[in-house]
Chains A and B, each alone.
Chain A
């Protein structure tokens, strides 16, 4: 059997495997390192960091739903200073590959975060999270408005310079995700992260009020996987050259393979790690097996395979 080339690229960043954590689902890596070596996966995508320390939303912050969960964390984090000196420094020391995710309340905050990260060693790429649903002001969901999304990405691009790949994380809660995707690519993004959680709500039958402290939350887990597959498929069809970091309910190698066939060059694992701390290792091994059994010699050959004409062969 020939050796499978399992590596992938997002913009000019190279990764030995296509499996990543999803931002907000691995904290800053330390917690998972008890269960597997962080260097064994593509990269850790850190929890979206903001300028100042942030306490996040009130509890309850989660509700399990059929094949999924709602979360309402609200970007709790230590702020960029502590992140750089503690979290990122530790990851670099571990020789883990890192994609830093940033979030801001304004386009200026995104740009200033990019300025803090410019020139910091050990970062493979920047995820610009313009689609967190758990914010008080829904106007902060930049990815729901083409112009605001573009303004953020333009600012980050201008600040960071040309080297570090920028991955814009988009929301599925829009009428036409392709137009937002095209807009942020035109504004300077190198790749796209698809999809963030889907806005949802659970009402508690005992209190007869919304269960989450923040009332609404982001739905994740296998329940949203078909939405992710659809979004990735639509965007890859329109923009076949743009690398996509796919995510949404992946909990097996077969799930990851589905997102890759839709057009993802890499796959992030989020909620599955909550249910299984070694989910990433399992998914990675299963995906490698599937690609080999299907006869692919490289991951790259499988990216977007579902778009090929009916009678085409691999």
Chain B
């Protein structure tokens, strides 16, 4: 054992819920005892399309929250946008059907040991894992404020029950169809000073994560972001999902966002080098 994904297991799991919420599907999967190993920020990799599928690669999804009930035991919830052929297949499954799933994978959001002021920033359905995180932070006595944003209102994911776990919630859409008009990143600088924010947790498109990192550059606010890179395996063997990350000595290396992420220190990522050829 090496410590890489040391709690991970592969299993056949049963779908115990599949509900359409706006443009997304809220999919509940019974995973038994493993649920206790699943932390906010962790993700799962699911085999899609059935045994004769021409889709050979797993699909990665962030765990949005975990739950335990006497009816189906431990379960995880995923928020899935049926945009691609793999995610559409998953959204088409009914309760009782089984899927081949590997979990929990990757790094989790770091949880402070003392009560701090946290700002949670979610773009599109990237907001999904932030609600589970908010609950954990509240239990630690943290103040939790949340910003959600998307191009349009139908792409905002904000479940009613999730709103209870935050001190404040502001929604931004670029077309003004829901909440305030504008980009989610617009109010961040002001909020950081007004609310004396210690840490920002973010999840969403890479451009949003980059913009937040630029706003925070040079300051002492910690930025924990969950990145999104195309993965073939999700377990660290394919080397496709790399990002340029600076280590303590200032050296930049291509790290795998599946095992060294998805949660990474936003200030260590060399955002301008993403998608460029790195010379060591």
What is the interface of chain A, defined by CB distance below 8 A to chain B?
A: 24-27, 30-35, 47, 52-62, 64, 66-69, 71, 73, 76, 90, 213, 221-222, 251, 271-278
Establish whether residues B239 and A27, one from each chain, have CB atoms under 8 Å apart when the complex forms: yes
Across the interface, B4 reaches (CB within 8 A) one of A31, A69, A272, namely A31
A34 near B237 with CB under 8 A, answer no
Instruction: Return the chain B residue nearest A36 by Cβ.
Output: B10
B58–A275 touching, CB < 8 Å: yes
Given known A58-B276, A213-B277, A278-B10, contact A33–B239 (CB-CB < 8 A): no
A57 to B277 CA separation, bound complex (whole angstroms): 6
Nearest-CB distance from A209 to chain B (Å)? 12
Interchain CB contact under 8 A, A56 and B233? no
Binds A, one of B49-57, B67-75, B153-161, B195-203: B49-57
CB pair B238 A55 closer than 8 Å: no
Instruction: Tell me the complex Cα distance, A71–B230, Å.
Output: 11
CA distance A62 to B58 in the complex (A): 13
Among B8, B56, B233, chain A packs the most CB atoms within 10 A around the CB of B56
Contact (Cβ within 8 A) B57 A275: yes
Number of B residues, CB within 8 Å of A:
38
A125 vs chain B, min Cβ distance (A): 21
For the complex, is B211 an interface residue (Cβ under 8 Å from A)? no
Which interface residue of A55, A71, A272 has the most chain B CB atoms within 10 A?
Answer: A55
Contacts of B2 in A (CB 8 A): 30-31, 33-34, 90
Find out whether the CB atom of A71 lies under 8 angstroms from the CB atom of B57: no
If A56-B254, A69-B232, A221-B56 touch, whether A61 touches B239 (CB-CB below 8 Å) is yes
Decide yes or no whether B207 CB sits under 8 A from chain A: no
Name the one of B56, B233, B237, B274 contacting A222, with C-beta atoms under 8 angstroms.
B56
Per DSSP, are chain A's interface residues mostly helix, strand or loop, or mixed? Answer: loop
A64 near B55 with CB under 8 A, answer yes
CB neighbours of A53 from chain B (8 A): 280
Min CB distance, A96 to chain B, in Å? 12
Interface members, chain B 5-35 (any A CB < 8 Å): 5-6, 8, 10
Residues of B contacting A47 with CB < 8 Å?
239
Q: Do A274 and B277 contact each other (CB < 8 Å), given the known contacts A26-B237, A34-B5, A73-B239?
A: no
A25 to B232, CA, bound (A): 11
Among residues of A, the one whose C-beta sits closest to the C-beta of B279 is A55
Q: Give every chain B residue within 8 A of A277 (Cβ-Cβ).
A: 10, 102, 233, 235
Please indicate the chain A residues that have their CB under 8 angstroms from the CB of B276 in the complex: 58
Say if the beta carbon of B126 comes within 8 Å of chain A. Answer: no
The answer to whether B4 and A30 touch across the interface, beta carbons within 8 angstroms, is yes
- B4, B55, B242, B253: the one contacting A59 at CB < 8 Å is B242
CB-CB nearest 8 A-B residue pairs? A55-B278, A31-B236, A274-B233, A62-B240, A30-B2, A61-B240, A67-B54, A58-B277
